[in-house]
A and B are shown apart, each in its own frame.
Chain A
């Protein structure tokens, strides 16, 4: 009888853990692809990353809030450069990250920057305007 109890316990655990494992696998097949659009940001900023210096600080100009995932994904895409919102610091170069077409030159001018290149898809390279 004790042996039967042991076999029952072991069998329950073996079968239950296999089922739990299968359940986890099924859940993983339902995961949303790139939920924070990190890969999308890496692709969007690829051209900018090649034109910007690989270290140092880069200004950040955007029509999106700085306390948003958009800033963090841009920062990840452009690392090892460090993004600093323009106003906190004004580095020589800045990157624009826009959610929709707008007056990029005007927005940059307000911050003291001129457009150096419009890389498309809402990504703009700025350089500090000479005073």
Chain B
């Protein structure tokens, strides 16, 4: 596991330096800023390495020496540029002085420990990952790592045999390519490597959620967000299974977090470019990332204007071009689960019983996300009652952030409606994981509208700190205080 993690160290350095160079995170000296840079950087770097490896494979030059040189050069160059482009130093972070913060900190440490043990147990039981991991993601990684003679097998329409639902020639390759790049450097297909990547994404998602909410709403709120995520059985159980659902949840959360930062700071180009890049990485992780990315760009066009949209597109374009090339030039077949004619799709969509079955499944899956007495939805309701909600005007200012997530869930619903697979089977094997994909983002949005008790004091302290971004950011921070 340690070796597996070390293999992704260059990727983390590449991503961290990209985040730092683009100045995507508001301030650097606070622990929240540093945690966001590292956790966001981990995902961004893995995406960059995945794309670079796949590009080298396609160009037929993905040897060990070339890959190692490319990663070392990108990491060294990136770190050098990042250090040169040091952000303006800020004053000491405001400390939440609430007397009960120790309770949240202690609970966070405990849940993190339990989470680590949980993921470790899951990896011990499933050393090659869950069903999707060994039939899709790690299998494709093995094909890619095989080099010039076998990498196209990752797009073969027969790799799943005759088992319906096991062939996915067009599934995006962020995860397999990242694992294959590490295996190529390692010179072996060790099962600990994808397990390490799975754990890395899970911890990075938790860290980024905690730090983003802590940055926006204070330490107490950040710790509450962390506790709610790690108290969600549905999410925790996926951490060790090496599926693509936690990684895509990372990129969806990253986009929303960057959009909040950007909207508060006058849509700076570095933040928008990084948001675009994360949108593209979401689409390179799973097909679900595509509707999300389209809707995210659409809401930015409406809220942020032409310049913000342009920079987002600039960030997304290189990866989007590679995805288009992959889908149109390399994938020989289409997904078997989609209907072949519009008439077939419409007849399925017109069946009311399918709507009911899907809606029931979504409710059931939500129920399965946690144990009844400690269910995260119940805990969020308790928080809303005891801490209160943001003023309606403030909630309305943030409601646009929910559009890409709601749109993604609607797209999932529509895909179920028209699927040619047995609907009951498909719902039972995938619906909970769809909720896992959006879960960190839903918690992020929820914690943005629940008022943490330390906010009043924290917000007052925030106003005394020197501004790092543009004037608009100051105004936005001001509006939080005014709204209260």
The CA-CA distance from A131 to B126 in the complex, in Å, is 45
Q: Known: A9-B382, A42-B128. Is A76-B150 also a contact (CB below 8 A)?
A: no
Cα separation A19 to B206 with both chains bound (whole Å): 18
- Asked if A107 lies at the interface with its beta carbon under 8 angstroms from chain B, I say no
Q: How far is the CA of A9 from the CA of B98 in the complex (A)?
A: 14
- Does A85 lie at the interface of the complex (its beta carbon under 8 Å from any beta carbon of B)? yes
B106, B156, B227, B373, most chain A CB atoms within 10 A: B227
Per-residue 0/1 for B161-177: is the Cβ within 8 Å of any A Cβ (1 yes, 0 no)? 11110100000000000
A55 to chain B, nearest CB (A): 3
A54 close to B383 (CB less than 8 A): no
B67 at the interface (CB under 8 A from A): no
Stretch touching chain A among B138-146, B264-272, B328-336: B138-146
Asked if A85 and B162 make an inter-chain contact with CB atoms under 8 angstroms apart, the answer reads yes
Segment of B113-121, B284-292, B350-358, B405-413 in the binding face: B113-121
A98 to chain B, nearest CB (A): 16
Asked if A24 and B237 sit within 8 Å, CB to CB, the answer is yes
| With A20-B374, A55-B150, A81-B150 as contacts: A67 and B163 at CB distance below 8 Å | yes
Q: How many A-B residue pairs have CB under 8 A?
A: 182
B387 touches A9 (CB 8 A): yes
In the complex, whether B401 has a CB less than 8 A from a CB of chain A is no
Question: Are the C-beta atoms of A21 and B114 separated by less than 8 Å?
Answer: yes
Q: Which residues of B contact A3 (CB under 8 A)?
A: 453
Q: A24-B236, A42-B128 are in contact. Are A80 and B107 (CB under 8 A)?
A: no
Smallest CB gap from B141: residue in A: A79
| Chain B residues positioned under 8 Å from A13 (CB to CB) | 224, 227-228, 379, 382-383
Chain A residues 56-103 with CB under 8 Å of chain B are: 56, 60, 65-68, 71-73, 75-76, 79-85, 88
Chain B residue contacts of A7, Cβ below 8 A: 100
Q: How far is the CA of A79 from the CA of B122 in the complex (A)?
A: 24
How does the 8 Å CB contact mask read for A1-35 relative to B, with 1 for contact and 0 for none?
A: 00101111111111111111111110111011111
B125 within 8 Å of A by Cβ? yes
Write out the residue numbers on chain A whose beta carbons fall within 8 Å of the beta carbon of B127.
34, 38-39
CA distance A76 to B141 in the complex (A): 10
Complex interface: chain A residues within 8 A of B374 (CB) = 16-17, 19-20, 23
Contact between B128 and A10, CB atoms less than 8 A apart: no
Q: A76 and B128: CB pair below 8 A?
A: yes
Q: How far is the CB of A52 from chain B (nearest CB, A)?
A: 12
| Residue in B closest to A78 when the chains form the complex, CB atoms | B142
Contacting residue for A6 out of B122, B145, B233, B453, CB 8 A: B453
Q: Does B385 contact A (CB under 8 A)?
A: yes
B153 at the interface (CB under 8 A from A): yes
Residue pair A23, B149 in contact (C-beta under 8 Å): no
Interface residues of B in 230-252 (CB under 8 A from A): 230-233, 236-237, 240
B150, B161, B164, B371: the one contacting A71 at CB < 8 Å is B161
Chain B residues in the interface with A (C-beta under 8 A) = 100, 103-104, 106-107, 110-111, 114-115, 117-118, 121-122, 124-128, 131, 134-135, 138-139, 142-143, 145-147, 149-151, 153, 156, 158-164, 166, 220, 224, 227-228, 230-233, 236-237, 240, 370-371, 373-374, 376, 379, 382-383, 385-387, 453
Contact sample, A vs B, 11 pairs, CB 8 Å cutoff:
A5-B386, A10-B103, A28-B117, A28-B125, A31-B126, A66-B163, A71-B163, A72-B160, A79-B142, A80-B147, A82-B159
The 10 tightest CB contacts between A and B, nearest first, are A9-B386, A80-B146, A55-B149, A17-B231, A80-B150, A79-B142, A14-B107, A55-B150, A31-B125, A28-B121
Chain A interface (Cβ < 8 Å from any Cβ of B): 3, 5-25, 27-29, 31-36, 38-39, 42, 54-56, 60, 65-68, 71-73, 75-76, 79-85, 88
